[in-house]
A and B are shown apart, each in its own frame.
Chain A
């Protein structure tokens, strides 16, 4: 009896190739291609007056130089606004190359194509662009003040104003026995995968078809966008994802200017063209996220139960808004976490600034919302002198209240309806894991030694597995191997391993006979993409359903061949056999042969399916109505709404009384993503998310000068944590299966990062006795807070 793989720590099939240096990332491809480089605006806001390419023309190896004036067809239109919303009344997107105006440092103005990147940069450096400076709007405060505008036709720099509410929050707060007001801020960070973006395009003039490799999170959507922009039939465009060196959200945006321009140039030049983004480009021309300013009013009773919550916030969306309002919508809705807010009102303004665009970065607005809610919980606890876990427990939605409708609309346009979760149980596990009840005495003991330690916790809920759908295709080959494909993409999450585990179990085949392809439009054409922690839920379920479909077909064909009843058959190790009678069996490869009635045998195995060899009912059509040849199937999974994972983190920090350095001593996670397909992969995702949470809490901040220059556009000054900055991470799982999909799974990809800033802020506050309302926080920030606090206390 084969062991079930579902739930096992199966080592990854992706590894052997990657770890031996045999990966095929974008820049590893296309050695024969021309290479592109860009002249990018050095100014945050300016009119482009003139472009002088004279000196660049002398560079040996130069092939072409393009500006906006060269773009034709639909390539000279603005890039698409991907996710419209009724409240997004002033949506603005950019042109692929600047059309007379630039709105952030890094915006592409001129494209250079040359024999290699060195030469392309030589030519680019010789291009003289004349700009007329315009005032730059940088930061939420400047955007709100609107002394200057980013876009002339967008009053107040406001792209959208959106309100969601349940009940009458203002009244509830006014009537409450207790009230608090908080101002909170999270600063901008970014996904920052180790591999930047990249595009390789080949135009085949004989076939009149375009093949594009791009380091994207959504090959199917890029395909549609390119077909539209380049005026090509969709079936003449294929988009393939190579190995991708991380995404974390930034590669879901599409089409990037370069994704349009590189194929356009390849077609025009009749040569393959490649662009590999360098790190500086990534800082100033991909996307950032996290920057928000919040003003909160909350009313609560003597027990600390929320009666009303009113949140007003300002979201910095950067110079353009191609991804719409997804991030602030997620903040608005996921802010509620595992709690009942009483009455709730949230209003946000999404504001333009002359900075890099803002699109989802792992967590996608949830870290901000979690920060706000968890600071509120801690503030209530402090005000009432209650234990911080007690206040949370009193506000939890209870398991018997599931499904719980928060009465709001989520980012997928569907109800914010929590389907599963046991928050009290998760919290109990977390308290046990970190030793919450023993901490006070530990803190005292440390204090006696002259050390400052503190503990903090944060809880969150995450809507995962958003639709609209994903699909799976599975085919059993005549040699018994199983070929699977799904349309979404992979950036290191082990999808091929996870999906192969599902297929191996569902179909009854050996794991090592299953191969999975993701993100290749030649193999699977209908998909949405990889984002929002949805792969296990969406493609996992779709692939499971597909495998069941194929299994059913296999059993029916085998039943005829074995002259048995379908109900008596099982598939074990790739053999269909009669239960309890293993000698009566047929292997799946043979079933595949039989599934495709042939006139011509192309090999020995195929001979068995030819008309004189195979037993067949002479009066029945070889392929019946509604049937298809081949042992293969396609199926889709499309849920009515998201399924809700949750988690809780607890952090112990130590702060140095003298240097104000901050050190994370322990990081504990209790995590509920429903059933676990591969716990090793899930834990890896949590580790990575936690590291980004620590980074966002203590190290990572995009530093924009008032004139819009990004001061830390390199890894020297944008500080991502090394191994010495991330502690060992302790994880405990709780499993409340999702009722919404056949596997009971919930998404896990983003979980690790969501509560990091909140939990660390809480722990620092606990250690220092100083309110922390802004993240990230550096030792220098803490030093200044200490001084302000001390002088307030002196004058108190």
Chain B
């Protein structure tokens, strides 16, 4: 008995697609195999590693946890959609390159989309905020140090390209295609969380363990010092 196909229409990186797919086709597979956009990768198929992260209507989601047919009318952005207009590296991608924030490159597409959306909403993160922003994606190669640096570098590049104006006139932040503008805020929602200590979802390993974590010893050198 063959599977009946369901019609679905969505855009990917601005290009419209009208498809007939088996309902169980995961969005990750539809992008990779039906549309041949293999930039998005599949690392676990249970929503944990984040390599499959794409933007749906501007918000990062796990494409391995979506059925493609459920995305009727959606605007999807993949890492291919975050290139520069000439097909070269977009600002987030360039930041990753400059900071050596990729080694094998398999997890990278999920980071790039996540970071692009994050910086659109939070253009100047602190070091710890930059780390928190990427805390939902696994990387086995880099140890994350350079990825955190890439978030900060991407923030610089995006700020530089937009000048002091902030966002482009069409509402999308620079570096993001038009259809990846921030999701419509629901009545009164703020983009930035208020500085409320109980809302800081710090991991056990970085949560303040008592009121005010002390500083490392005074003779500590700043991270990454290289005396070669």
B225 to chain A, nearest CB (A): 6
Interface residues of A in 11-60 (CB under 8 A from B): 11-12, 14-16, 18-25, 27-28, 31, 60
* Interchain residue pairs with CB less than 8 A apart (25): A12-B100, A16-B89, A18-B102, A19-B89, A20-B88, A21-B40, A21-B80, A22-B39, A23-B39, A28-B38, A192-B140, A193-B106, A194-B43, A246-B140, A435-B216, A442-B216, A491-B104, A492-B103, A662-B205, A684-B142, A684-B146, A687-B144, A722-B203, A728-B223, A732-B225
A60's closest neighbor in chain B, by CB? B2
B98's closest neighbor in chain A, by CB? A11
A733 proximity list for chain B (CB < 8 A)? 226-228
Interface residue B105 (Cβ < 8 Å from any Cβ of A): yes
Interface residue A594 (Cβ < 8 Å from any Cβ of B): no
B132 proximity list for chain A (CB < 8 A)? 724
A434 to B2, CA, bound (A): 65
Interface residue B189 (Cβ < 8 Å from any Cβ of A): no
Interface residue A133 (Cβ < 8 Å from any Cβ of B): no
Looking at the complex, which one of B46, B138, B220, B226 makes contact with A720 (CB distance below 8 Å)? B138
Which residue of A691, A722, A731, A779 has the most chain B CB atoms within 10 A of its CB atom?
A: A722
Which residue of A433, A687, A725 has the most chain B CB atoms within 10 A of its CB atom?
A: A687
Stretch at the interface among B29-37, B116-124, B160-168: B29-37
A19 touches B205 (CB 8 A): no
Return the CB mask of B90-132 against A: 1 if under 8 Å, else 0: 1001001110101111111100100000000000000000011
A670's closest neighbor in chain B, by CB? B227
**Given A14-B105, A246-B106, A690-B143: A715 in contact with B138 (beta carbons within 8 A):** yes
A190 to B204, CA, bound (A): 23
Interface residue A537 (Cβ < 8 Å from any Cβ of B): no
A17's closest neighbor in chain B, by CB? B105
B145 to chain A, nearest CB (A): 5
Return the CB mask of A730-763 against B: 1 if under 8 Å, else 0: 1111010000000000000000100000000000
B103 proximity list for chain A (CB < 8 A)? 246, 492-494, 684, 688
A435 touches B96 (CB 8 A): no
B209 proximity list for chain A (CB < 8 A)? 451, 654, 656, 659, 661, 663
Looking at the complex, which one of B1, B24, B97, B220 makes contact with A16 (CB distance below 8 Å)? B97
Interface residue B61 (Cβ < 8 Å from any Cβ of A): no
A74 to B207, CA, bound (A): 57
A661 proximity list for chain B (CB < 8 A)? 204-205, 207, 209
A689 to B140, CA, bound (A): 9
Stretch at the interface among A158-166, A393-401, A674-682: A674-682
Looking at the complex, which one of B46, B97, B100, B107 makes contact with A684 (CB distance below 8 Å)? B100
B96 proximity list for chain A (CB < 8 A)? 15, 19
Interface residue A243 (Cβ < 8 Å from any Cβ of B): yes
Interface residue A664 (Cβ < 8 Å from any Cβ of B): yes
Interface residue A449 (Cβ < 8 Å from any Cβ of B): yes
Which residue of A21, A28, A442, A724 has the most chain B CB atoms within 10 A of its CB atom?
A: A21
Return the CB mask of B40-75 against A: 1 if under 8 Å, else 0: 111111101101000000000000000000000000
**Given A438-B217, A722-B136, A726-B145: A492 in contact with B206 (beta carbons within 8 A):** no
Looking at the complex, which one of B24, B44, B108 makes contact with A118 (CB distance below 8 Å)? B24
B15 to chain A, nearest CB (A): 14
Interface residue A279 (Cβ < 8 Å from any Cβ of B): yes
Tier of interface size on chain B: 35 or more
Other A-B pairs, 13, CB within 8 Å; known A22-B80, A661-B205: A12-B100, A15-B105, A192-B140, A194-B49, A195-B106, A245-B106, A278-B45, A433-B225, A684-B100, A684-B142, A687-B146, A691-B143, A715-B49
A18's closest neighbor in chain B, by CB? B105
B97 touches A446 (CB 8 A): no
Return the CB mask of A434-461 against B: 1 if under 8 Å, else 0: 1100110010011001110000000000
Looking at the complex, which one of A493, A663, A724, A730 makes contact with B225 (CB distance below 8 Å)? A730
Interface residue A78 (Cβ < 8 Å from any Cβ of B): no
A170 proximity list for chain B (CB < 8 A)? none
B213 proximity list for chain A (CB < 8 A)? 451, 654
B37 proximity list for chain A (CB < 8 A)? 21
Interface residue A716 (Cβ < 8 Å from any Cβ of B): yes
Interface residue A127 (Cβ < 8 Å from any Cβ of B): no
B83 proximity list for chain A (CB < 8 A)? 20-21
A194 to B2, CA, bound (A): 33
A434 to B221, CA, bound (A): 8
A693's closest neighbor in chain B, by CB? B143
A437's closest neighbor in chain B, by CB? B219
**Given A11-B100, A28-B32, A720-B140: A666 in contact with B216 (beta carbons within 8 A):** yes
**Given A656-B209, A714-B44: A726 in contact with B143 (beta carbons within 8 A):** yes
Report the 6 A-B pairs with minimum CB-CB distance, sorted nearest first. Answer: A21-B39, A492-B104, A245-B106, A18-B105, A687-B143, A492-B103
B100 proximity list for chain A (CB < 8 A)? 11-12, 680-681, 683-684
B109 proximity list for chain A (CB < 8 A)? 21
Looking at the complex, which one of A18, A31, A687 makes contact with B142 (CB distance below 8 Å)? A687
A450 to B104, CA, bound (A): 43
B226 touches A679 (CB 8 A): yes
